[in-house]
Amino acid sequence: MSRLRSALSRTVAHPAFHLALVLALLLGCRWLSAGTVQILTFALIAIIFSQSINLLTGLAGQISLGHAGFFGIGAYCSGILAKTHGVDVALSVPLAALLAAAAGWLLSFPAGRVRDVYLAMMTLGFGMIFYEIVREWNDVTGGTMGFPGVPSAALHTLSILGVRIDAAAYFQVVLLVAALVLVLVRNLTQSRIGRAFFAIHVSEVAAGSIGIPAGATKQLAYTLSGALAGLAGGLYAHLVGYLGPESFALPRSIEVLVIAIVGGLGSIAGQVLSATVFTFLPERLQVFSEYQFIAYGVILTFSLVVLPRGIAGLLLDPPRFIKPRALRRAVALRPDPAVLRPEAAGGGDGGSLEVASVTMRFGGLVALDDVSLRVEPGRITALVGPNGSGKSTLVNVVSGLYRPSAGRITFEGRDITGLPDHRIAAARVVRTFQDPRLVPHFTVRENLLLGAHRLLRHTGAAAALALPSALEEEAQQLAAIEAVLALTNLTVVADRTISTLPYGTRRMAEVGRALLARPRAILLDEPAAGLSEAEMERLAQVIRDMKAMGLAILLIDHHMDFLADLVDDVVVLDSGRVIYRGGIAEMRRDPAVIAAYLGDEAATASEHAHA
Ligand code: ADP
Ligand code: MG
């Protein structure tokens, strides 16, 4: 079964297969009945529309219940421009996509601030507002009477760039547009853009920590998604020739969501299959069309229960998110451990990370109380203290997750207090999390490449077109990843999916990912928690390597033996206050530390011994 699936996946992914399919349809459509050609054109439009949901919901994780709004904006824009203003369809359809993209961009501002149920409600609201506007704006849209007479293949009134277009020719045009869309979406999925979408999907906080701005990434997702939906809508207008508000009401939003989910969110091939099936079914089964939405409900429920990854999950291997060409190119480049040295990605002045009198309050709780400490380059500073003493809070404040209630944080002499998390990562201060936050369905290598996101500077257009310059830049980072894999001992699992790997391996992958963001200061929040002896030794070696590279390292941990021969300085926190600062040997004799922390630890240790 899995061999069959792999073979099918390879075939479906092969350019020759795509080419053959497109050519067969291009030439073959002349022999098909008019009815079949029309349904096939509807299917192509559904494919483009479902890619719009795929980008926004499948990749970026933002649900939309109002996508018919974007579709409708595209349809009315192109329809009105062509009919009322005589604009050529070759121009009106791209303008429609542009207008819908602008609408997507605008919607991203309110929608980017909310999630889950609130996002669902907000996008539902967007769809309903669009529907009402179309119904009420009689002069422009024809209101409830509809907007007939759009130049279209169905009415034999369509010409593009002066050439008369019949139904079969229109099918050919839409086929080429759909093929182009699929190629671009596929390239995007396997680029920094698609990977960033997945990163914010899984954890906006983790994405920010390696320099991926959640806000801007969502804006891009909404804009691109709007553009594709608008494009589909524009093409739809010139297929049917009549626009009425009912075509852009809630059922269409639901329909495209069902297509995308049943096809398998995140899978391009799955969407193509699903869009085709869902276009043909209602046409072929008249019963189905009457009870269409009951059927959709049943299919969706069934699909979510039985096929959580949709048709694609059943038939195909999971998609991958690095271009094979970039991978092949990377093999030719020799991995060079020196690329990880902080100065390799632009040098700093080797200054330290300074926390000065930082206080953090959560309501009445003072999690950090006038904390000052300094982490110097080429030194390992341990941050220890009982649970709840404020260690993670300090990391959260430094890394820009929280703005401190008082105090200042500077790095290399520059004030970074209160900067957004991705800007702090860009200032080369990178953190890991107490609970590893990787993209579970990415491989180790793909997760590491996320770390290098900030260093991939090529434009979205270059990524969508998979330009050689963009691939070369990715190959450079993939070569650096080889060095990190070797350093962290992850080479053998590089192409395994994170969710299939043991906890210790995932932790190490997170440290590796942070390294790829080329930090000059790194904050490790309990990286050794849950590791085996052997894994801890490996981690200690990696941390020593970081020190040798000149990084300023803040290390949170509880194991005194692990810390003893690793760290240079220790800071002890208790109830948000610094109670000790100095060497680790002296710390173990310090009465205040023993009373607050080590006594506690000794008690736990003896408990463990008894257990
Ligand atoms: P540690 O990492 O040392 O175990 P934390 O920094 O996680 O401790 O927590 C310190 C204190 O701050 C705890 O009492 C915790 O409940 C509180 N705290 C941490 N984050 C928040 C938050 N976002 N909202 C409210 N209280 C918080
Ligand atoms: Mg903690």
Handedness of CA 416, 422, 425, 427 (dihedral sign): negative
* Mean of the per-residue pLDDT values of the chain: 91
* Number of domains the chain is built from: 2
Q: Is residue 367 lining ligand 1, measured as CB closer than 6 Å?
A: yes
Residue 588 pairs in a beta bridge with none
The model's confidence at residue 348, banded by pLDDT at 50, 70 and 90, is low
Give residues with Cβ within 8 angstroms of 515, minimum separation 6: 340, 451, 484, 487, 488, 522, 546
pLDDT above 70 for 286: no
How many residues does this entry show for the chain?
611
pLDDT above 80 for 282: no
In this structure, the answer to whether residues 315 and 368 fall within a common structural domain is: no
Asked whether residue 334 is domain-assigned, the answer is no
The model's confidence at residue 344, banded by pLDDT at 50, 70 and 90, is low
3-class state of residue 152 by DSSP: coil
- CATH label of the domain that carries residue 567: 3.40.50.300
The enclosing H or E element of 345 equals none
Give the Cα-Cα-Cα angle 183, 261, 186 (nearest 5 degrees). Answer: 15
Residue nearest ligand 1's atom 14 by CA: 388
Query: Ligand 2 centre and the CA of 36: distance in Å?
Result: 62
User: Atom of ligand 1 at shortest distance to CA of 360?
Assistant: 12
- The dihedral over CA atoms of 38, 40, 46, 50, expressed in degrees to the nearest 10, equals -170
The model's confidence at residue 285, banded by pLDDT at 50, 70 and 90, is low
Res 396: pLDDT: 97
Q: Percentage of the chain surpassing pLDDT 90?
A: 74
In this structure, the answer to whether residues 298 and 400 fall within a common structural domain is: no
Q: Is residue 383 lining ligand 1, measured as CB closer than 6 Å?
A: no
Q: Is residue 391 lining ligand 1, measured as CB closer than 6 Å?
A: yes
pLDDT above 70 for 426: yes
Asked whether residue 169 is domain-assigned, the answer is yes
- CATH label of the domain that carries residue 199: 1.10.3470
**Residues 241-262, mean pLDDT to the nearest whole number:** 91
Res 511: pLDDT: 96
Task: Indicate which ligand has the atom closest to the C-alpha of 526.
Answer: 2
Asked whether residue 335 is domain-assigned, the answer is no
CB of 554 within 8 A of CB of 429?
no
Phi and psi, residue 488, nearest 5°: -95, 5
User: Atom of ligand 1 at shortest distance to CA of 393?
Assistant: 6
Task: Indicate which ligand has the atom closest to the C-alpha of 435.
Answer: 2
Q: Which string of b and e fits 521-537 if b means at least 16 CB within 10 Å? A: bbbbbbbbbebeeebbe
Res 609: pLDDT: 46
Q: Where does a domain end: 319, 336, 371?
A: 319
In this structure, the answer to whether residues 219 and 146 fall within a common structural domain is: yes
In this structure, the answer to whether residues 311 and 351 fall within a common structural domain is: no
Give every strand in the sheet of 569-574, ordered side by side: 429-431, 521-525, 552-556, 380-384, 569-574, 577-582
In this structure, the answer to whether residues 315 and 355 fall within a common structural domain is: no
The model's confidence at residue 611, banded by pLDDT at 50, 70 and 90, is very low
Asked whether residue 276 is domain-assigned, the answer is yes
In this structure, the answer to whether residues 276 and 362 fall within a common structural domain is: no
Render pLDDT for 436-493 as a digit per residue (tens, 0 to 9). 899 999 999 999 999 999 999 999 999 999 999 999 999 999 999 999 999 999 999 9
Single out the residue of 11, 4, 10, 39 nearest to residue 25, CA to CA.
39
Q: Is residue 385 lining ligand 1, measured as CB closer than 6 Å?
A: yes
Res 77: pLDDT: 96
Res 311: pLDDT: 86
CB of 130 within 8 A of CB of 69?
yes
Report d(CA 546, CA 337) in Å as an integer: 11
The model's confidence at residue 185, banded by pLDDT at 50, 70 and 90, is very high
Give the Cα-Cα-Cα angle 263, 265, 268 (nearest 5 degrees). Answer: 70
Res 314: pLDDT: 84
Give residues with Cβ within 8 angstroms of 605, minimum separation 6: none
Single out the residue of 396, 391, 431 nearest to residue 572, CA to CA.
391
Render pLDDT for 219-233 as a digit per residue (tens, 0 to 9). 999 999 999 999 999
- Which of 147-161, 325-339, 358-372, 583-597 is least confident? 325-339
Q: Is residue 396 lining ligand 1, measured as CB closer than 6 Å?
A: no
The enclosing H or E element of 578 equals strand 577-582
Asked whether residue 336 is domain-assigned, the answer is no
Q: Is residue 389 lining ligand 1, measured as CB closer than 6 Å?
A: yes
Asked whether residue 325 is domain-assigned, the answer is no
Render pLDDT for 370-409 as a digit per residue (tens, 0 to 9). 999 999 999 999 999 999 999 999 999 999 999 999 999 9
Task: Indicate which ligand has the atom closest to the C-alpha of 383.
Answer: 1
Query: Ligand 2 centre and the CA of 392: distance in Å?
Result: 4
Query: Ligand 1 centre and the CA of 392: distance in Å?
Result: 7
- Which of 293-297, 367-371, 552-556 is least confident? 293-297
CB of 454 within 8 A of CB of 210?
yes
Give residues with Cβ within 8 angstroms of 609, minimum separation 6: none
Render pLDDT for 499-515 as a digit per residue (tens, 0 to 9). 999 999 999 999 999 99
In this structure, the answer to whether residues 349 and 460 fall within a common structural domain is: yes
Q: Is residue 476 lining ligand 1, measured as CB closer than 6 Å?
A: no
CB of 419 within 8 A of CB of 177?
no
CB of 517 within 8 A of CB of 481?
no
Single out the residue of 376, 443, 404, 393 nearest to residue 556, CA to CA.
393
Query: Ligand 2 centre and the CA of 528: distance in Å?
Result: 12
Residue nearest ligand 1's atom 18 by CA: 367
Q: Where does a domain end: 285, 319, 353?
A: 319
Asked whether residue 153 is domain-assigned, the answer is yes
Render pLDDT for 99-110 as a digit per residue (tens, 0 to 9). 999 999 999 999
Question: Which mutation among 355, 361, 362, 523 tests ligand 1's pocket best, with the greatest number of atoms within 8 A of CB?
Answer: 362
Task: Indicate which ligand has the atom closest to the C-alpha of 366.
Answer: 1
Query: Ligand 1 centre and the CA of 569: distance in Å?
Result: 23
Query: Ligand 2 centre and the CA of 372: distance in Å?
Result: 18
Query: Ligand 2 centre and the CA of 585: distance in Å?
Result: 23
In this structure, the answer to whether residues 584 and 476 fall within a common structural domain is: yes
The helices-and-strands tally (H runs, E runs) of the chain is 28, 12
Asked whether residue 168 is domain-assigned, the answer is yes
Q: Is residue 263 lining ligand 1, measured as CB closer than 6 Å?
A: no
Phi and psi, residue 364, nearest 5°: -85, -15
Query: Ligand 1 centre and the CA of 195: distance in Å?
Result: 31
- Which of 308-317, 343-352, 590-599 is least confident? 343-352
Query: Ligand 1 centre and the CA of 433: distance in Å?
Result: 14
In this structure, the answer to whether residues 111 and 149 fall within a common structural domain is: yes
Phi and psi, residue 152, nearest 5°: -155, 160
In this structure, the answer to whether residues 21 and 62 fall within a common structural domain is: yes
Task: Indicate which ligand has the atom closest to the C-alpha of 367.
Answer: 1
In this structure, the answer to whether residues 380 and 294 fall within a common structural domain is: no
Task: Tell me the one-letter amino acid at 290.
Answer: E
Question: Which mutation among 358, 360, 365, 384 tests ligand 1's pocket best, with the greatest number of atoms within 8 A of CB?
Answer: 365
Domain of residue 423: give its range. 345-610
User: Atom of ligand 1 at shortest distance to CA of 389?
Assistant: 3
3-class state of residue 137 by DSSP: coil
In this structure, the answer to whether residues 33 and 129 fall within a common structural domain is: yes
